[in-house]
Structure 1
């Protein structure tokens, strides 16, 4: 897990776009793994517009294929990153499909699986006229995974990095409370969003809700079912 996180941090750092903690060391000591990172003193207030601008710059860093050099983790859940040229297939197999299979093993069947199978079959409709490029993503960009240095410079951490549709990162910023409007305005000023983002946002955030269902149970399974039903109605 720590090796994978270090690889994500190093990939983002290499772009020179957004500040991340520098990787100092990682390895195994006895039966315990460790990851040593640069200490950054971060606060919750800073230049949100600069965060938007630099995230757009990060997303301009692209690869030839979707995926990543190796698998990593979203929370404590394995995140497969097999490389492919087929974004819809990647999202079907390695994101939604993977989480649905995990949910089945965790005992979540019935309506969740039925709606999931219908949605997997309907995925191409969400991408009609839209072909995303493989952008470098943070992969888990909720409000708890960013902060600001004393001078207001934004920093991000705890990535689940891979190359995918930039809309995935933006969707995640809206999932748990959202970021300031100045962040979104600055991002859009550099790289406007496709009109279909409004629908795909839920498609991308469904991945995280399914992951939360697998990790924490609770009401996340019901939320996932509601999201899938809404998405299916949108493209019925």
Structure 2
């Protein structure tokens, strides 16, 4: 952490005004921003994520999503850190969060806590339907806001279609996808579901177990959606145990056809990775599209 950021944090109007910054250690913080473990006077530890000033928009979206998930999380099982502060400085933007002490403990609390979050939020679902109240991000990729009354329309128009448009840069042709998208929207619109608040980017690097046995979620791309989108993504890159799924399904029983929808919901994340990183994700996205077309057309 450079001296200008240190000084800005503890300045009279800084996020840590009045605190003594005892030590700063870099930690893993993803591929977009830098992250830090800050030890303050008295031994309190906080987590800071920093980036250039233009990162403020991403941090505001993340803080908004964390607040929403925190409000629905069962605190005895699942910790979603509520932001401690966010600030744009002359040459930095910073998001300050409570420090989470991760461990290798089992994921029973994580699975049950996520299920209860999905369940309780569905009982207080946003009356506007499926979507989110502001434009956001999935990683550094765009995730448009907006609302739809039907789930299939929301998934196609707010998630797949924006990514497919970006995919035109590496060879996708929107005109070849229209019939498929209409068929998929019809297929998903037949589902009888209530929107749940979902994490939205639930791969293994954005969740874990804490040293006190509770689970934790962070780095969300939250929106109101079918709860299965979170479960589907846990299957994409691995990192979730049998205990996690057993505990989740003890609260939220798997619905008919849920296994078949994993590929549908993960198509969104493959497209996003193809648009962000290219490489093998492009081939995976094309293969997934072909598979889905065969299934639905």
Matched, 1:234 2:295: yes
Partner of 1:146: 207
Partner of 1:103: 167
1:26-37 alignment to 2 at 5 Å? 26-37=86-97
C-alpha contact (below 8 Å) 1:126/1:200 kept by paired residues: no
**For 1:160, what is the secondary structure of its paired residue?**
coil
Tell me the TM-score normalized by structure 1: 0.92
Alignment partners' CA distance in 2, 1:188 and 1:178: 17
Q: Deviations over 1:26-80 (max 9, x none)?
A: 121014321111111112x223122111111111103221112222110001111
**For 2:99, what is the secondary structure of its paired residue?**
coil
Tell me the TM-score normalized by structure 2: 0.74
Name which one, 1 or 2, has greater alpha-carbon Rg: 2
Matched, 1:15 2:69: no
Which of the two has greater strand per residue?
Answer: 2
- Tell me by how many angstroms 1:235 deviates: 2.2
Following TM superposition, the consecutive aligned residue runs of length 4 or more in structure 1 with deviations greater than 2 angstroms are 112-119, 124-129
C-alpha contact (below 8 Å) 2:202/2:230 kept by paired residues: yes
Partner of 1:120: 181
Q: Structure 1: state its 5+ residue gaps.
A: none
Matched, 1:58 2:81: no
**For 1:83, what is the secondary structure of its paired residue?**
strand
**For 1:168, what is the secondary structure of its paired residue?**
helix
- Tell me by how many angstroms 1:127 deviates: 2.6
Alignment partners' CA distance in 1, 2:176 and 2:286: 7
**For 2:221, what is the secondary structure of its paired residue?**
coil
Alignment partners' CA distance in 2, 1:77 and 1:118: 25
1:164-183 alignment to 2 at 5 Å? 164-183=225-244
C-alpha contact (below 8 Å) 2:152/2:189 kept by paired residues: no
Question: May I ask how many residue pairs the two structures share in their alignment?
Answer: 232
Q: Structure 2: state its 5+ residue gaps.
A: 1-57
Alignment partners' CA distance in 2, 1:16 and 1:229: 38
Alignment partners' CA distance in 2, 1:66 and 1:54: 22
Partner of 2:253: 192
Matched, 1:160 2:160: no
Alignment partners' CA distance in 2, 1:68 and 1:74: 13
For CA contacts below 8 A with separation 6 or more, give which structure has more relative contact order.
Answer: 1
Partner of 2:149: 85
